[in-house]
Amino acid sequence: MTVLPTILLADLVTELPAPVRLQRLVSNLMAEFGGGAVVLLQKQQDYLKPVAMQGLAREALGRHFVVAHHPRLATIMASRQPVRFAPDSSLADPYDGLLDAQPEQPLAVHDCMGMSLYLEGECWGAITLDALEAGTFDAASEARLQHYSFLIEAIIRLCRLERDNRVLRQSRSDSEPRLVASQADSGIIGQSKALQQVLRQLDVVADSELPVLLLGETGTGKELFARRLHQLSPRSKKPLVYINCAALPETLAESELFGHVKGAFSGAGQDRAGRFEAADGGTLFLDEVGELPLSIQAKLLRVLQNGEVQRLGTDKPCQVNVRIVAATNRQLAERVQQGEFRADLYHRLSVYPLPIPPLRERELDILLLAGHFLEQNRVRLGFRSLRFAPEAEQLLLQYHWPGNVRELEHVLSRAAIQALSQGASRQDIVTLQADWLGLADTQQTAATALTEVAAPADLNGLTPKQTVLNGLTLEQTVLNGLTLKQALQCTQRQLIQAALQQHQQCWADAARSLGVDASNLHKLAQKLGLKANRGQP
């Protein structure tokens, strides 16, 4: 007799974090039924999102499977009973080519069954089981899955109750119901520690009325974080109004923000409300706020101070209640010192500054995001299946991503199109090769640029390009098996050691000679394992 019911019941009475509880569920089902993969998918709008899985490539966790685009998933979701597909079914499986336990040549799934899951009469999602070997699942397997469905749904229900209890313990006094953090569909994907830390801060500050300044490099997705903040705030039922300050012509910026009355200027044929009035009661998101002209900054400051806007062409003020969320990829503090941004406005906007981590600091999220964009391109271009070659995955993880998430999205779109230009058939399982990503040349260019950076001529007489890494140049090191990341770290380590030796272990002088800030040099050295404290390397 199977021990699975006993294991699942034991998990029901054991205190576990929800992600661990769900992962144990799929692992136990995998052990019970065998096969190649088990995936637990939660329904969100028109797609299914994996929340726990075993046996699939990691990037699959970032995919959103639109039900209408996957006939097997649509069939499963349309039934309240387990559904088993014949090994020779003509319906493509959403996991074709994605199973971990497959040879180098990707294979289609040959056996599949699944079942929709319901909580309190509403469809929660589905559980799917897949195998490469035909005949893995049979009628008895269907009956067992049906038998276990009550325990599976009970575990999911327990996770929901635990989440609701946490929300109640942190309950707020406002009467309007709002989304809890786990329900906010902002499109943010990732599980990295850096991202989760930002999301926790965002969830806390969302409940306040404080202005928030989102800081971060271009392409990090600041608009998605602003959307999440609005969804979790007391203003979620009111509008979120977006405005790109960098795209505002100075001559029209005042009208766009504050509105105008008929006849205020040539072409003003009727009264028009500005973005502040449109966002009344809600949130106004000022993207690229650092690009606002100084003349508009002064008027924006007045609105933030008094809560009043004055349409262009009239003296009559209008009261507005707007929360400001701003974003910039500029160093506003430096722009203040340079006289390009008002100090008083900067302090008004940066009551709660929130840095968004760049993609290179979210290494665990790269493949999840890649899987998400890969599924988008699969649907857009009509592929049966798109997957990564192992070398392509490795290159994605090693790349520096100066353009962050936006660059990753564009790279994968180009790679999918490149697959077609290389003769790939949309009906096959298409494996994206590393050289289709177009990152190899970029990586080499970056490496060359780093090694050719001007360095002090007195670093033992060596330039960075001449610095020896265990007896080899950078180019030779890469060819002898080190990854680019490892080779760059070796170069950095050698340069810092040489600079410190040249300047008698004076960190300030070494940093000056290397052209970097002293505090940044300390952080880099710590990361490279060169020093145990600020005093000695």
The CATH number that applies at residue 111 is: 3.30.450.40
Question: Global pTM?
Answer: 0.77
pLDDT of residue 124: 96
Are 392 and 439 spatial neighbours (Cβ–Cβ below 8 Å)? Answer: no
pLDDT of residue 519: 67
Q: Among candidates 345, 339, 330, which has minimal Cα distance to 300?
A: 345
Clarify whether residues 328 and 372 are in a common domain.
no
Q: Among candidates 122, 225, 117, 231, which has minimal Cα distance to 183?
A: 231
The total domain count for the chain is 4
Domain membership of residue 496 as a residue range = 451-527
Clarify whether residues 12 and 147 are in a common domain.
yes
Clarify whether residues 161 and 222 are in a common domain.
no
Written as six digits, the tokens of 376 are 């988008």
For the beta carbon of residue 48, count every other beta carbon within 10 angstroms: 25
For the beta carbon of residue 53, count every other beta carbon within 10 angstroms: 23
Tell which of 438, 459, 485 closes a domain.
438
Clarify whether residues 281 and 414 are in a common domain.
no
In a domain, 267, yes or no: yes
In a domain, 256, yes or no: yes
pLDDT of residue 449: 39
Tell which of 388, 416, 438 closes a domain.
438
Clarify whether residues 8 and 41 are in a common domain.
yes
Strands 283-287 and 240-244, by their bridges, are parallel
**Tell me, what CATH number does 252's domain have?**
3.40.50.300
Residuewise pLDDT in 10s, the chain (537 residues): 467 778 888 877 788 888 899 999 999 999 999 888 999 999 998 999 999 999 999 999 999 999 999 999 999 999 999 999 998 888 888 998 888 766 556 667 778 999 999 999 999 999 999 988 888 999 999 999 999 999 999 999 999 888 777 666 655 444 444 454 444 566 899 999 999 999 999 999 999 999 999 999 999 999 999 999 999 999 999 999 999 998 888 778 888 888 888 877 777 778 888 899 999 999 999 999 999 988 889 889 988 988 888 888 888 888 999 999 999 999 999 999 999 999 999 999 999 999 999 999 998 899 999 999 999 999 999 999 999 999 999 999 999 999 999 999 999 999 999 999 999 999 989 999 999 999 865 555 444 434 444 344 344 444 444 444 444 444 444 444 555 666 677 778 888 888 887 777 788 778 777 877 776 787 788 777 776 444 443
pLDDT of residue 167: 63
Clarify whether residues 521 and 394 are in a common domain.
no
In a domain, 37, yes or no: yes
Clarify whether residues 512 and 366 are in a common domain.
no
Clarify whether residues 487 and 502 are in a common domain.
yes
- Element holding 387 (H helix, E strand): strand 385-388
**Which residues, in sequence order, are bridge partners of residue 130?**
37, 112
pLDDT of residue 128: 96
Clarify whether residues 405 and 421 are in a common domain.
yes
pLDDT of residue 441: 53
In a domain, 46, yes or no: yes
Amino acid at residue number 449 = A
- Quote the Cα angle for 417-420-425, to 5°: 140
Tell which of 355, 387, 403 closes a domain.
355
In a 10 Å sphere around its CB, with 0-12 CB exposed, 13-18 middle and 19+ buried, how is residue 161 labelled? exposed
In a 10 Å sphere around its CB, with 0-12 CB exposed, 13-18 middle and 19+ buried, how is residue 369 labelled? buried
Clarify whether residues 138 and 237 are in a common domain.
no
Q: Which residues of 471-491 are buried (b: 16+ CB within 10 A; e: fewer)?
A: eebbeebbeeebebeebbbbb
In a domain, 13, yes or no: yes
Are 327 and 237 spatial neighbours (Cβ–Cβ below 8 Å)? Answer: no
**Tell me, what CATH number does 397's domain have?**
1.10.8.60
Q: Determine the Cα–Cα distance for residues 259 and 274; give it in Å rounded to an integer.
A: 4
Are 479 and 469 spatial neighbours (Cβ–Cβ below 8 Å)? Answer: no
pLDDT of residue 24: 93
In a domain, 223, yes or no: yes
Clarify whether residues 315 and 421 are in a common domain.
no
In a domain, 537, yes or no: no
CA-atom Rg of the chain in angstroms? 28
Are 510 and 502 spatial neighbours (Cβ–Cβ below 8 Å)? Answer: yes
In a domain, 132, yes or no: yes
Clarify whether residues 367 and 404 are in a common domain.
yes
Are 180 and 319 spatial neighbours (Cβ–Cβ below 8 Å)? Answer: no
